[in-house]
Structure 1
Amino acid sequence: MHNERNFMDGVFVDAGGEPPIAVHNPATGEHIAEIDAASPAQVQVAVAVAARAQRDWARRPAIERAQYLRKLADVLVANAARIGAALASESGKSLTDASNEAIYAAEITRYHAEWARRIEGEVIPSDSADETILLQREPIGVVACLIPFNYPVYTLLRKVAPALITGNTVVVRPSNNTPLCAFEIARAVEQAGFPAGVVNILAMRHEHASLLCTQPPVGMITLTGSVGVGRSVLEYCKVNIAKPSLELGGKTPAIIEPDADLEQAASAIVASKTTNCGQLCTAIERVYVHARVHDRFLNLLREKFAAIRIGDRSEDPSRMGPLISEGARRDIHAKVMRAAAEGAVLEAGGAIPEGRGFFYPATLLSHCRQDMEIVQEEIFGPVLPVLCYGTLDEALRMANDHQFGLSSVLYTEQYRTALKVANRIEAGELYVNRTPADPYQGFHAGWKRSGLGGDDGKHGMLEFTQTRLVVMRY
């Protein structure tokens, strides 16, 4: 077991007197580390130094800021194994997957560095003959970044890189489940030579996170998390009228048309549902199958779900790893049991395994109804409900009859069907004949309760800016 310290103003700082945060390996339940929890005074200092550093950082040419990002990307790649080892120990991922996440984080960092020469404003015609109207893109100031546990390396850079290229500074609060990898990223920031105060990373308890988000210099709060936490962030934003950017819950529907390649669709959906033990906001969470192919497709899913083996991925990367905590496992199992009590048929899984670690089997439920909790609420685990439909209009009605609208999936070989769904699905994303992957040149933005704002691409980068109108009379 080891201790980690918080990183602010360019250095790692001693504990501020708060009880430490315990970190566990979810594959074994073992207590593996103690993290210094930031004190209220340290949180306030971190925001203050970020605000001070932001003035100089924003004055630097964007291409100079990009040079720091490119250096950081190089350091992330060089230290991918070290970052991956920390992430694997606290998340239950395999070392390969965890190390690859660091490399993906480096790639999105390089991508945002490329925007240095492309942060565009506008020239707008004036109603007066002797005037020019300019619309400039400017940084917001200090950004509070709240990071989830499921992809904590990638998501951290997904938020930090666009914030920095546009001239903001950041205070990052990693998940208390996965803070070790965040401090490895802090070491990478230190090695890349960023000016002091530009990037600050502090572990803290919930009440101190609220203090972070309500400090006057914080002009934007970006969160990837649950709807409940999103509501809390909106309350924090009210204090200083800060800008929210929220990626919240998801309940990705997959529609399987009768002309679909069923084998391809089943394999992809099972992989989506079991990758990272289903702890992914765009993982397939409900499947609507046309009546003509329902039984065949259900058989394919049943066979593939039954073949999934669980276990410690540090010992066998071919197995599905654990959920993040015992609390998550209890919550998911309770949902499965309530679905069974309401009439769903358990086709695979559904039992808590014996032994250490927070494992849960790949679980398939058939004969589900649209009004069931298992269909209406996010599961965030390896559980998949299947429903039957008769017409595409019926499938669309059920897919759209939902509080969430993050991502969606369609399997069909008919372009007319694809275009109809593309124009009628109530979600920020549609993937045709594949499962979601969040391309970082796209725009990852949810509808309904799935969020406000968005990440990735040009539009995700511009989320971290505000506009200034300049009217020049000559």
Structure 2
Amino acid sequence: MTHYLNFINNQWVAADNGASYRVTNPATEETVGQVSAASAAQALAAVDAAAAAQRGWRKLTSIARGDHLRAFADALVARKAAIGQALALESGKSLEDAENEAVYAADITRYHAEWARRIEGEIIPSDTPGENLMLHREPMGVVACLIPFNYPVYTLLRKIAPALITGNTVVVRPSNHTPCSAFEIAQAVLDAGLPPGVVNILAMGHAEAEVLCTHPKVAMITLTGSVGAGQRVLDYSRVNIAKVSLELGGKTPAIVAADADLEKAANDIVRSKTTHCGQLCTAVERVYVQEAVFEALVAKLKEKLSAHAYGNRSAQSQHMGPLVSASARQGIHAMVERAVQAGAQLECGGSVPSGPGYFYPPTLLTQVRQDMEIVQEEVFGPVLCVLPYTTLDHALALANDHQFGLASVLYTEDYRSVMQAGNEIEAGELYINRTPADPYQGYHAGWKRSGLGGDDGKHGMLEFTQTRLVVMKY
């Protein structure tokens, strides 16, 4: 069992109060690591180190920062076995998936390195003769990055790569469920030769996270997490008027028209629902099916979900893995039970298996109503609700009748339906004849309670900048 220390100013630092906690494998409930818990004083020290480093980091040419990011990406790939091993043990993912996540994180790092020569300002006509208006894109300063448990390696680089290329430095707080992989990434920071203080990674509790996020030198807070976590971050941001970027909950609707390829739709939806046990903010959670094909699609979904094996992925990588914790499983099962009590039909799943590990079977519910909790609240687990619709107008009204607006899906061969949905869906993303995958050259941004700001692509990179207007009289 590895004991991980915190990473401040390119140094490994033990908790100054001796505090630590154990990390559990959700597939076996065994302890797989021990992590030093940073104190409030150490959180402050990390911000001070990042602020000091940022003064030099921002003065580097952007192409020099890009060279550092490319070296960092190479170091991530070189360490993919160590990163993947830590991630697989702490998350219940297969080793193959965990290593692939490290490679994908390196890919997005290289992508952001390519922006080095493309961070553009503007020249704007002035109303005054003999004068130019020049708009510059400048770094924010120190960015606090709060990382979720579900894709902790990829999301960590999804945040720090655009932050670094634009001249910021970062203090990272990984999820307490999955901190070990973050510290393996910290070793890649050293291997790549990034300057001290540019990247700092600390495990900490909520009180220490508040100290971090309310530090006057923190100019921006970026979070991927729940709506509740986002609300806390908004409270933190009020203290110093820090900029926020929040990627919060989702409840992806999939609309399946009568002319859709039902076999493909069923396979895609089941894959979306069972990947990482449904712990993905863009996973399909509610399916609206045109009445003419409702029974046919339900039959296919029931067959495929019932046959989908689950269990320890270190033994069988094709299995669906565990939920993150016992409390997560308890909460999901309680939601399913309340739905059944309210009249939903349980087609498959819906039971808590015996034995070690926080497993939950793929679960399918029909005869649900739009106003039910199971339809209106994010489950974040392998539970799927299916409802019928009549017309596309009806389907869009149901899909849009929701607090969340992150991703959405439409299966149809009719271009008119595609165009209408593209104009009327109330979500940041619409996928046609496929389920969400967050291409990193796109823009991943939620509507409604799904967030503020966004990640990925040019617009995600520019979230980490602020503008300066220079008015030059000549």
Could you say which TM-score interval applies, normalised by the shorter chain?
over 0.9
Letter in 2 for 1:292: A
| Deviations, residues 339-379 of structure 1 (Å, cap 9, x unaligned) | 00011100010000011000000000011110000000000
Aligned equivalents of 1:336, 1:290: Cα separation in 2: 24
Whether 2:407 is the aligned partner of 1:407: answer: yes
1:407 and 1:427 in contact (8 A); partners too: yes
Letter in 1 for 2:343: G
Equivalent residues, number: 474
Whether 2:357 is the aligned partner of 1:357: answer: yes
User: For residue 159 of structure 1, what is the aligned residue in structure 2?
Assistant: 159
User: For residue 468 of structure 2, what is the aligned residue in structure 1?
Assistant: 468
Whether 2:230 is the aligned partner of 1:219: answer: no
TM-superposed deviation, 1:258: 0.4
1:138 and 1:166 in contact (8 A); partners too: yes
Letter in 2 for 1:470: V
**The residue matched to 1:187 in structure 2 has which SS?**
helix
Aligned equivalents of 1:191, 1:33: Cα separation in 2: 22
Map 1:380-391 → 2, pairs under 5 A: 380-391=380-391
**The residue matched to 1:426 in structure 2 has which SS?**
coil
User: For residue 337 of structure 1, what is the aligned residue in structure 2?
Assistant: 337
Aligned equivalents of 2:2, 2:169: Cα separation in 1: 29
Map 1:190-339 → 2, pairs under 5 A: 190-339=190-339
TM-superposed deviation, 1:120: 0.2
Aligned equivalents of 2:464, 2:2: Cα separation in 1: 36
Map 1:392-471 → 2, pairs under 5 A: 392-471=392-471
Aligned equivalents of 1:166, 1:94: Cα separation in 2: 34
TM-superposed deviation, 1:15: 2.0
Aligned equivalents of 1:239, 1:65: Cα separation in 2: 31
Letter in 2 for 1:34: Q
Aligned equivalents of 1:42, 1:105: Cα separation in 2: 27
Aligned equivalents of 1:118, 1:261: Cα separation in 2: 41
Aligned equivalents of 2:15, 2:453: Cα separation in 1: 35
User: For residue 38 of structure 1, what is the aligned residue in structure 2?
Assistant: 38
Letter in 1 for 2:327: G
User: For residue 97 of structure 1, what is the aligned residue in structure 2?
Assistant: 97
Letter in 1 for 2:265: A
**The residue matched to 2:467 in structure 1 has which SS?**
strand
1:18 and 1:39 in contact (8 A); partners too: no
The structure 1 segments of at least 4 consecutive aligned residues displaced by more than 2 Å after TM superposition are: none
| Deviations, residues 36-57 of structure 1 (Å, cap 9, x unaligned) | 0001111100000100100000
TM-superposed deviation, 1:18: 4.6
**The residue matched to 2:364 in structure 1 has which SS?**
strand
Map 1:2-81 → 2, pairs under 5 A: 2-81=2-81
| Deviations, residues 428-449 of structure 1 (Å, cap 9, x unaligned) | 0000000000000000000000
Aligned equivalents of 2:173, 2:14: Cα separation in 1: 17
Q: Name the stretch that deviates more: 75-84 or 446-455.
A: 75-84
TM-superposed deviation, 1:32: 1.8
Percent of aligned pairs with the same amino acid: 67
**The residue matched to 1:393 in structure 2 has which SS?**
helix
Aligned equivalents of 1:349, 1:38: Cα separation in 2: 41
| Deviations, residues 226-257 of structure 1 (Å, cap 9, x unaligned) | 00000000000000000000000000000000
Q: Name the stretch that deviates more: 165-174 or 389-398.
A: 389-398
**The residue matched to 1:388 in structure 2 has which SS?**
strand
Aligned equivalents of 2:2, 2:454: Cα separation in 1: 36
Aligned equivalents of 2:129, 2:412: Cα separation in 1: 55
2:19 and 2:38 in contact (8 A); partners too: no
Aligned equivalents of 2:161, 2:171: Cα separation in 1: 13
Aligned equivalents of 2:22, 2:304: Cα separation in 1: 36
1:73 and 1:107 in contact (8 A); partners too: yes
**The residue matched to 2:365 in structure 1 has which SS?**
strand
1:112 and 1:162 in contact (8 A); partners too: yes
Aligned equivalents of 2:359, 2:18: Cα separation in 1: 31
Aligned equivalents of 2:10, 2:344: Cα separation in 1: 54
Aligned equivalents of 2:177, 2:269: Cα separation in 1: 27
Letter in 2 for 1:105: A
**The residue matched to 2:407 in structure 1 has which SS?**
coil
**The residue matched to 1:72 in structure 2 has which SS?**
helix
Letter in 1 for 2:183: F
2:311 and 2:320 in contact (8 A); partners too: yes
| Deviations, residues 111-147 of structure 1 (Å, cap 9, x unaligned) | 0000000000000000112000000000000000000
2:87 and 2:180 in contact (8 A); partners too: yes
Aligned equivalents of 1:262, 1:243: Cα separation in 2: 44
Letter in 1 for 2:438: D
User: For residue 175 of structure 1, what is the aligned residue in structure 2?
Assistant: 175
Letter in 1 for 2:62: A
TM-superposed deviation, 1:79: 1.1
TM-superposed deviation, 1:278: 0.2
Aligned equivalents of 1:11, 1:31: Cα separation in 2: 25
Structure 2: runs of 5+ lacking an equivalent: none
**The residue matched to 1:292 in structure 2 has which SS?**
helix
User: For residue 375 of structure 2, what is the aligned residue in structure 1?
Assistant: 375
Aligned equivalents of 2:197, 2:2: Cα separation in 1: 26
Aligned equivalents of 1:5, 1:204: Cα separation in 2: 11
Aligned equivalents of 2:306, 2:20: Cα separation in 1: 41
Q: Name the stretch that deviates more: 279-288 or 12-21.
A: 12-21
Aligned equivalents of 1:212, 1:431: Cα separation in 2: 37
Aligned equivalents of 1:217, 1:18: Cα separation in 2: 26
**The residue matched to 2:58 in structure 1 has which SS?**
helix
**The residue matched to 1:223 in structure 2 has which SS?**
strand
